[in-house]
Amino acid sequence: MSVQSAGRWGLIAQFPAPLRARFARNKLAVAGLVVVALFFLFCFVGPLLYSTDQIHTDLTQVNLRPSGAHWLGTDAVGHDELGRLMYGGKVSLLVGLAAGVLATVIGTLWGSVAGYAGGWVDAVMMRVVDAGIAIPALFILLVVSAITTPGVPGLIVILGLVSWLVPSRLVRAETLTLKSRDYVLTLRAIGGSHSRAITRHILPNSVSTIVVAATFQVADAILLVAYVSYLGLGVQPPSTDWGGMLSAGLTAAYSGRWWLIVPPGLAIILVVCAFNAVGDGLRDAFDVKGRG
């Protein structure tokens, strides 16, 4: 396996071959990767090939069953359901991705500082994390929904703020392990600074843990987005996401209009499942411990 330095940072620029091979052997993970790719194509490239009007209502086309004209039927205000699935998917995927990454970034910063500092700083920072974990996310989200209705950026921030706790624990654990590695001790013994130890040794070696955590966070975030619309915190009409579609179609379900809830429900399940499978595969390939 060859080591290639990328510029000043000395990081390994490519994914080494043995890692790729190990990932490829996990059929579930590979399937997950394919599913994720397909869904991204579906939501972003799909509307270019199959364009429908998702803004204006058409009350002449209300509640139609799936047919040749509308493959997945229409909803209560006349939107084409298949097109709505693509449209809502864009929001679900983007918000989920952004919130997941944000949560991982915050968690990494918090966890690495706590782990490296140790002592009472670590203790206090981790008590804050414990407190955050103790308050169930759904409850906080409901409270927030009672106070205000945020736009998409606000939603991303709120979801990120609710989810950074788990990655912070994982990164802290990794930092604690790396902090006492011989090469870090040697660096400190010859006069190397804390910042050098963190930026050149600890963070680069935490990359695998962080990447795995991020993948699981995205999976969780997409799921959380689905809950959020159900709770009434979601995006406003005519914009929508899969959770919103489920929420709107709930009453319809009881009267047998299955095409309004099965597609978005299945979409959520498949995408979240896929991200989880990829995360699982990455974790096994990297041989990282634990999932939050």
Partner 1 sequence: MNSILEIENLGVTFSTESGDVPAVRGVSLRVAAGETLALVGESGSGKSTVALAALGLLPGNALASGGVSVGGTDVVGAGEAELARLRGRTASMVFQEPATALDPLTRIGKQIAEVVRNHRDVSRQEAAAEAVGLLRRVGIPEPERRASAFPFQLSGGQRQRVVIAMAIANSPGLLVADEPTTALDVTVQAEILDLLRALAVDSGTGVLLVTHNMGVVADFADRVAVMLEGEVVETGAVEEVLLRPTHEYTRRLLAAVPRLAVTGSGSGTAVGKEAEGASVVELRHVSVQFGRGPRAVRALEDVSLTVRAGETVGLVGESGSGKSTAARVALGLVAPESGSVSLFGADLRKARGRARRALLSGVGVVLQDPVASLDARMSVAECVAEPLRVHRRGMGAAERRELVAEVLELVRLPRELARRGPRELSGGQRQRVSLARALVLEPRLLVADEPTSALDVSVQQTVLEVIAELQAELGFACLFVSHDLAVVQQFAGRVVVMRGGRVEEQGPTMSTLLHPETEYTRRLIAAVPVPDPVLQRERRERRVALGTEAGA
Partner 2 sequence: MDTLLYLTRRIAQALVVILIVTVVVFGLLHALPGGPARGILGPQATPQQITLFNHDQGLDRPLPVQYLYYLRQLLHGDLGTSYTLNEAVSQLIEQRLPKTLVLTVLSAVLGLLLAIPLGMWQAVRRNKPADYVITTLSFVAYSTPVYFLGLVLVLVFTQMLRWFPSQAPQGDTVGQVFADPVALVLPVVTGAASMVAVFSRYMRAATLENLSEDYVRTARAGGSRQRAILFKHVFRNSLTPVIAMLGYYVPVLFGGALVVEQLFNYPGMGLLFWSAAQSSDYPVLLGCVLVISVATVVGTLLADVVQRVVDPRVKGGQA
User: Binding residues for partner 1, per CB under 8 A?
Assistant: 1-3, 5, 10-12, 18, 21-22, 181-183, 185-193, 196, 200-201, 204-205
Instruction: Considering the complex, state which of residue 53 and residue 130 has its C-beta at the smaller distance from partner 2.
Output: 130
DSSP bridge pairs for 80: 74
- Complete DSSP assignment for 11-64: -B-S--HHHHHHHHH-HHHHHHHHHHHHHHIIIIIHHHHS----SS--GGGTTP
Q: Which does 151 bind (CB under 5 to 8 A by kind): partner 2, partner 1, none?
A: none
Measured at the CA of 119, the angle between CA 114 and CA 120, to 5 degrees, comes to 85
Contacting positions for partner 2 (CB under 8 A): 27-28, 114, 118, 122-123, 126-128, 130-131, 133-140, 142-143, 145-147, 219, 223, 226-227, 230-232, 243, 246, 250, 253-254, 261, 265, 268-270, 272-273, 276-277, 280, 291-292
CB 79 → partner 2: shortest distance, Å?
Answer: 20
CB 53 → partner 2: shortest distance, Å?
Answer: 27
Instruction: Considering the complex, state which of residue 200 and residue 245 has its C-beta at the smaller distance from partner 2.
Output: 245
Measured on CA atoms in the order 55, 60, 63, 68, is the torsion positive or negative? negative
Instruction: Considering the complex, state which of residue 67 and residue 199 has its C-beta at the smaller distance from partner 1.
Output: 199
List Cα–Cα distances, 72 to 49, 51, 84, 102, 262, in angstroms. 16, 14, 10, 34, 10
CB 67 → partner 2: shortest distance, Å?
Answer: 23
Instruction: Considering the complex, state which of residue 186 and residue 236 has its C-beta at the smaller distance from partner 1.
Output: 186
Rounded to whole angstroms, how far apart are CA atoms 240 and 282? Answer: 31
Instruction: Considering the complex, state which of residue 16 and residue 136 has its C-beta at the smaller distance from partner 2.
Output: 136
Rounded to whole angstroms, how far apart are CA atoms 71 and 184? Answer: 60
